[in-house]
Structure 1
Amino acid sequence: MKNTLLFLVTFNFIELLNAQKQESAIDTNKVERQSSFSAQIDILNQYIWRGQSYGGKYVAVQPGVTYTITENLSIGAWATTNFQGPYYETDELTPRAYQEFDLGISYALNNFISIEFWDYYYPSIEKFEGENTNFFNFRDDAVQTIDAILVLDFSEIWLPLEASISTFVAGNDYRYNANEENPKQNFTTYVELNYYFEDVLAEIEVNPFAGAVLNNKAEYYEYADFDKVSFINLGVALAREFNLNNDFNVPLNLKYIYNAASENTEIFGRNFVVAGISLVYN
């Protein structure tokens, strides 16, 4: 029911936007509004986030919407599901079902620096003992984390290079002492670099990237090293975008990801190939 609601909300946004655009075109003397909506639906063969597999090798559907309030400020919502019922595979070790709902806000200080805050809410399809799925719960038994992200975009001043620093500032990101007591916020930090080669061949964009978690003592990144810097997200992405009309685009994506952690990669392995197709409304 929740997944159906997400799709209905996304498509209703698109229909509403089409109606608004047609209505505004009638009167060409109206001043163009600065605020606008965009919507996107991604279909991927599997969901890999920062070198971590969520939901195993099952197709993931990911709708999202963004509302641009001003030139610098925008808000958004995003979700993912793989439509699987049981939380574990039959071996009761490998996670299978996964769903997530995120809310975010982004503010651009200038063409170079922007700040984002994302609320990651990831309730299990089956509720486990000791887990509190209350949306407003940010304690150590929560299924929610707030991520503060600083994005540095060098493309306007130097190279087509983007760097980001991500730190969890609230939610289930706690480390414990040797007796599994005295929880403390860990402020787990992840850094990533992306370089973009545009129109390399047949308008294909090539994007090599590298990401590492710096302090994983809270073990938030399960498939990474817990006691040292861990390069969990190394790889390259290929993207090609096709225009349907002035409003809709269809990007195709192919990504190879390598998790270079020295431990905790046994469940899903180190190598991932993610293929995806999207429908984007602007």
Structure 2
Amino acid sequence: MKFKLLFLHLIVISTSILSQENESKTDTLSVEKEKKLSLTVDFVSRYLWRGQCWGGNYVAVQPTIEYEVSSKLTLGFWATTNFKSDYFYPDGVTSYKGYQEIDFYATYQLNDFLQFQVWDYYWPSVEKIEGIDNGFFNYGKDGVKTVDAMLYFDFSEGYKYPFNATISTLVAGNDFRFDSNGENEKQNFTTYLELGYTFTLFEKSSIKGLQGIELDSVIGAVLNNKAGYYSYADYDKVSFCNLGIKATKEIDLRKGITMPLSLNYVHNGATQNTETFGKNFVVAGISFSY
């Protein structure tokens, strides 16, 4: 009788343990499924892209949606707008007061440090402009579409030196160069190189608010800007248009929500075409990520 009771007791315990393990696995799978989709909203004091100022000195909102198809493949959507409806400034000459952009992208992780990315940029004017076709599928010389193919090297995890590098080439879309007569347009394949290094500060500080502050330094240059795709860079030589340093502090709001705060200084080292917005920029940002 005692043996039977002991046997039944063992069965009950085993069933309980298996039930707990299954619940744990279910919770883990649920978390993994939640992680497949990530959402971010950035609020920045102005929009800069590789040392290029788009939309003037106006606050921009930038949502990002990413879906992890597999451990290597991710699909994403990114957009920016400063909610301005005027294309030109009051002087009628300076452009890009109002700016909007919608991008779709895919990233594929080739190995632990190398990622291949393809971005489809769509930057329609906020009002109708003569000579500009805002058609979404127009990749011609009067269109507002560009395809960017990138190799992104990231040695920030598992390596001694936390640096990264980007090689970007425009492979399709409105990236044409012309001869002196404005004819014989050819795809320019404008190429941009960027090197970055990350410093982590105050890791052992007793002040919790200082722990984990990151400084990201960057040096970026466009190599062959003959098509003038980089409006605020040199057209006839290598142009170091993106020299900067960015401080970031991430705050954990719990329940999977984080709030990174950032302050970014960027210097455009081009010798020409920087008169519109200047050479030096300070950009503050706050993000909410889930």
Name the TM-score class by shorter chain. Answer: 0.7 to 0.9
Report how far residue 48 of structure 1 moved: 0.6
Deviations 1:238-262 (Å, cap 9, x if unpaired)?
A: 0000000031000000000000000
Pairwise CA distance, 1:27? 5.0
Amino acid at match of 2:200: E
Corresponding residue number in structure 2 for 1:58: 58
Matches within 5 A, 1:141-152: 141-152=142-153
Partner of 1:241, secondary structure, is strand
CA distance in 1, matches of 2:25, 2:237: 60
SS of 2:244 mapped into structure 1:
strand
Q: Deviations over 1:41-90 (max 9, x none)?
A: 00011001100000000000001100011111100001000000111110
Q: Point out the structure with the larger helix share.
A: 2
Equivalent residue, structure 1, for 2:285: 276
Q: Name which of structure 1's ranges 125-134 and 266-275 shifts more when overlaid on structure 2.
A: 125-134
Report the Cα distance in structure 1 between the residues aligned to 2:246 and 2:135, rounded to whole angstroms: 36
Correspondence for 2:159: 157
Aligned equivalent of 2:29: 32
Q: CA deviation at 1:133?
A: 1.1
1:73 aligned to 2:73? yes
Tell me how many residue pairs correspond in the alignment: 256
Give me the whole-angstrom Cα distance separating, in 1, the residues matched to 2:217 and 2:115: 21
Give the alignment of 1:84-233 within 5 angstroms: 84-94=84-94, 95-155=96-156, 156-200=158-202, 201-233=210-242
SS of residue in 2 equivalent to 1:244: strand
TM-score (norm. length: structure 2): 0.85
Give the partner amino acid of 1:256.
Y
Question: Which aligned pairs between 1:243-258 and structure 2 lie closer than 5 A?
Answer: 243-258=252-267
Flag the structure with larger Rg.
2
**Structure 2 unaligned regions, length at least 5:** 1-21, 203-209
My pick for the range that moved more, 151-160 or 237-246, is 151-160
CA distance in 2 between partners of 1:46 and 1:265 (Å): 16
Alpha-carbon RMSD across the aligned residues, in angstroms, is 1.4
Matched residue of 2:180: which SS? coil
What TM-score, normalized to structure 1?
Answer: 0.88
Distance in 1 (CA, whole Å) between partners of 2:118 and 2:59 is 27
Sequence identity of aligned pairs in percent?
Answer: 50
1:131 CA drift (Å):
1.3
